[in-house]
Amino acid sequence: MEYLIHIAILISIYSILGISLDLVLGFTGLLSVTHAAFYGLGAYATAILLTGYGVNFFVAIVLGMVVSGIIALVFGLVLNRFRDDFYALASIGFNTIVFSIFLNWQELTRGPLGIPGIKRPELFGYAFTSNISFLILSLVCAALVYFVSRYVTTSSFGRVLLAIREDEEAISVFGYNTVFYKLAIFVMSAMMASIAGSLFATYITYIDPSSFSIHESIFILAMIIVGGLANHRGAILGAVFVILLPEILRFVGFPTDIAAQMRQLTYGVLLIVFMLYRPKGLVGKYEL
Amino acid sequence: MGIVPQLIANSLIAGSIYALLALGFNLIYGTTRFFNLAHGAVAVLGGYAMFYLLKHTNMAVWVSAIIAVIVAGIVGYLLERFIYRPLRNRKASGLVLLIASLGAFTVIQAVIAMIFTSQFQTLSSAQSGLFHIGGAVITDVQLVIMASVLVIMVLLALVLKFTSFGKAVRAIGDDEEVSEIVGINTKKVIARVVFIGSAIAGLAGILIGYDVGLEPTMGLSLLLKGVIASIIGGIGNVYGGVIGGLILGFVENFGIWKISGEWKDAIAFGVLIIFLIWRPQGLFKR
């Protein structure tokens, strides 16, 4: 039972990451490979505020979102100059830079040692120490992200994003400031990823830079491509699929170090197979 | 004085490796027009193939090196044949190819880690010979690295300029469809290009194995250094990649003279982003 709750918490955290990346990739057509950077910024902001300053979790989560949002604004301003391949490449660059800050700014992040002893969230004297209560908290967060995303994408704002994806020049001719729209959705997506980071840090109670490398960005990317782009349910389905699959492999009985590689192998193969035979993913509404 | 000659030597060595990676990457990008992210993993694979051959067979070093390079080339060819070509035939966008190559990269890296474990390995067994040149210390392996970059660049330039294969490669780079219409067997030429590019990557992997050692996860950073070198030099431009590699080597090594060494990657990407903003076509246009 504890094990199932653990899986469910992971799925809800990754659903948040998937849904938020989908806003940028699926709905706006920007191949961002830097999502783990914002995920990490949220996690580190929360960890540092909780362990170093004793700030309440719910204040820290908001502060983390502010930090991620500001950084995303800066990155977004640069990224908006590029398209397609170069956009992807520059975003990989930003992920690497943020990752090396986590790794090397030792005074703040303790570098490769990571930050241990992060407390579970507390609200009005109630601590979310049991896993089941934490599951409820993360489900609430995931639901909030889901409904906000759905509201955004079904609004007129969302329709402009779709138009940017299909033909950016055409929509800018109609007088829409596409730079503003792309920037807004990028910042929004980064702030959502930061929520996932805050949850992750307080759930695991220990973070280190390796959780937020470029490989994590690729993992999130694989997840929503498998689930299907431009569909919130696709992102959730992808999270379920990509997290359950390696767990099943574990039951087959590989040794742990092989199992870790099997996870990588599985999602590499998934990416290739889906690109070759079903570029839309399981329930996607947009094909790259 | 003192540290500067060594820094110059280190820059040249690192730059040569980046240049080698950029050469292969550029060659493939120049004809197929997509970011082959699996390139870095192919380089690492070349290094590990060499490692395997040295450990389990009694072949001479140069025979093993040739076999390892060919293995890397064949893996590159298989990727092209079974993943990239079907996707191109379907007129898939560059992003689809990029993501598929990302998948291929992950698979190769995982397989290497499963076979050889994630442990750090090195190819050089004995203490290699040292040379003192103008106040800098250089190992014999590092001399081989620099020499092989020169040789390969010249060979590649000659092939591209004077053979009919080279002309076909350049034609496909300009326009694949028209090349096909005028009777160039584009599939065959692209397959060969990918083979050659991957083989060069394999050679880079072997040299890195001798110089600093091998790790399954190093592929991504190798690839990205190669890509950054290509972009600095002008992507798709074979000679530009070499210059770009050398520039990157110098910036990184002189950068860590003042800032601590862990920031190497951040410096490299800082350079990339500056170039993408101010001069996205690179120093030399294709």
> What's the domain count of chain B?
1
How many Å is the Cα radius of gyration of chain B? Answer: 19
Tally of CA atoms within 13 A in the half-sphere of B140 that contains its CB: 6
Q: How confident is the model at residue B125 (pLDDT cuts 50, 70, 90)?
A: low
Q: Which residues contact A30 (CB under 8 A, 6 or more apart)?
A: A24, A79, A87, A182, A186
Confidence (pLDDT) at B62? 84
Using the predicted structure, report yes or no on whether residue B286 has a pLDDT greater than 70: no
Query: How many CB atoms within 10 Å of residue A4?
Result: 10
Considering the domain boundaries, does residue B186 fall inside one?
yes
Beta strands A122-123; A126-127: pairing state: antiparallel
> A115: closest CA among A16, A200, A36?
A200
Q: Model confidence over A126-166: pLDDT tens digits?
A: 778 788 888 998 999 999 999 999 999 999 988 988 888 88
Rounded distance, CA B225 to CA B248, Å?
8
Interface A–B counts its CB contacts (< 8 A) at 121
Confidence (pLDDT) at A172? 85
Place of tokens 């010249």: B154
Considering the domain boundaries, does residue B9 fall inside one?
yes
**Which tokens belong to B249?**
């080597």
Confidence (pLDDT) at B117? 80
Asked if A276 lies within 8 A of B100 by C-beta distance, the reply is: yes
Rounded distance, CA B150 to CA B242, Å?
9
**3-state class of B284 per DSSP?**
coil
Q: Report the pLDDT averaged over residues B129-150.
A: 80
**Chain A from 259 to 278: CB within 8 A of any B CB:** 261-262, 264-265, 267-272, 275-276
Q: Which residues contact A99 (CB under 8 A, 6 or more apart)?
A: A36, A37, A40, A209, A212, A213, A214
Considering the domain boundaries, does residue B143 fall inside one?
yes
Place of tokens 């999270």: A239
Q: What is the DSSP letter of A147?
A: H
Confidence (pLDDT) at A193? 93
Of B96, B227, B263, which has the smallest distance from its Cβ to A100's Cβ? B263
Closest A-chain CA to B118: A257
Q: Model confidence over B29-76: pLDDT tens digits?
A: 888 888 888 999 999 999 999 999 988 888 888 888 899 999 999 999
What range does the domain containing B109 cover? Answer: 3-278
The alpha carbon of residue A3 and the mean position of all alpha carbons in its chain are separated, in whole angstroms, by 23
Confidence (pLDDT) at B71? 94
Closest A-chain CA to B34: A85
B-chain residues within 8 Å CB-CB of A271? 99-100, 102-103, 106
Q: Is A283:A227 a contact under the CB 8 Å cutoff?
A: yes
Using the predicted structure, report yes or no on whether residue B129 has a pLDDT greater than 80: no
Considering the domain boundaries, does residue B284 fall inside one?
no
Q: What is the DSSP letter of A258?
A: H
Confidence (pLDDT) at B32? 83
Question: Cα distance from B135 to chain A (closest Cα, Å)?
Answer: 31
Element (H, E) at B22: helix B3-32
Percent of chain B with pLDDT over 90: 22
A-chain residues within 8 Å CB-CB of B100? 271-272, 275-276
Rounded distance, CA A126 to CA A120, Å?
10
Rounded distance, CA A51 to CA B216, Å?
35
The alpha carbon of residue B133 and the mean position of all alpha carbons in its chain are separated, in whole angstroms, by 27
Task: Calculate the alpha carbon distances from A61 to A74, A199, A235, A241 in Å.
Answer: 20, 8, 23, 27
Farthest CA pair distance, chain B: 60
Confidence (pLDDT) at A191? 93
Closest B-chain CA to A272: B100
Rounded distance, CA A80 to CA A178, Å?
10
Asked if B94 lies within 8 A of A81 by C-beta distance, the reply is: no
Closest B-chain CA to A25: B95
Q: Is A47:A206 a contact under the CB 8 Å cutoff?
A: no
Rounded distance, CA B156 to CA B158, Å?
5
ipTM of the complex: 0.84
Looking at this protein, which amino acid is placed at residue A152? Answer: V
Q: How confident is the model at residue A14 (pLDDT cuts 50, 70, 90)?
A: very high
Place of tokens 């191109």: B88
Using a CB–CB cutoff of 8 Å, tell me whether B95 touches chain A. yes
Rounded distance, CA A95 to CA A197, Å?
15
Considering the domain boundaries, does residue B73 fall inside one?
yes
**Which tokens belong to A85?**
């391949």
Place of tokens 């020049």: A169
A-chain residues within 8 Å CB-CB of B266? 96-97, 100-101, 104
Q: Model confidence over A187-222: pLDDT tens digits?
A: 999 999 999 999 999 888 888 888 888 888 888 988
Element (H, E) at B163: none
Q: Report the pLDDT averaged over residues B266-272.
A: 82
* CATH number for the domain harbouring residue B188: 1.10.3470
Q: Which residues contact B213 (CB under 8 A, 6 or more apart)?
A: B120, B121, B122, B123
Highest-pLDDT range among B113-117, B185-189, B200-204, B264-268: B200-204
Best mutation target, A267, A272, A274, to test chain B (most B CBs within 10 A): A272
Confidence (pLDDT) at B258? 74
**What are phi and psi for residue A177, nearest 5 degrees?**
-80, 90
Of the listed ranges B62-71, B97-106, B139-148, the one predicted with least confidence: B139-148
Using the predicted structure, report yes or no on whether residue A246 has a pLDDT greater than 80: no
**Helical ranges in chain A per DSSP H:** 2-25, 35-53, 57-79, 84-104, 106-109, 131-154, 156-166, 168-173, 178-204, 214-227, 232-252, 256-277
Using the predicted structure, report yes or no on whether residue B109 has a pLDDT greater than 70: yes
Using the predicted structure, report yes or no on whether residue B89 has a pLDDT greater than 60: yes
**Which tokens belong to A269?**
């193969």
**What are phi and psi for residue A259, nearest 5 degrees?**
-60, -40
Rounded distance, CA A287 to CA A29, Å?
10
Considering the domain boundaries, does residue B283 fall inside one?
no
A-chain residues within 8 Å CB-CB of B99? 221, 225, 271, 275, 288
> B151: closest CA among B139, B163, B143?
B143
Rounded distance, CA B83 to CA B169, Å?
20
Q: How confident is the model at residue B285 (pLDDT cuts 50, 70, 90)?
A: low
Q: Report the pLDDT averaged over residues B79-83.
A: 92
- Give one DSSP letter per residue of A54-80, joined into a string: ---HHHHHHHHHHHHHHHHHHHHHHHT
Considering the domain boundaries, does residue B125 fall inside one?
yes
Asked if A267 lies within 8 A of B106 by C-beta distance, the reply is: yes
Q: How confident is the model at residue A261 (pLDDT cuts 50, 70, 90)?
A: confident
Element (H, E) at B116: helix B94-116
Using the predicted structure, report yes or no on whether residue A69 has a pLDDT greater than 90: yes
Tally of CA atoms within 13 A in the half-sphere of B230 that contains its CB: 28
Rounded distance, CA B132 to CA B6, Å?
10
**Which tokens belong to A90?**
């520059």
pTM for the complete prediction?
A: 0.87
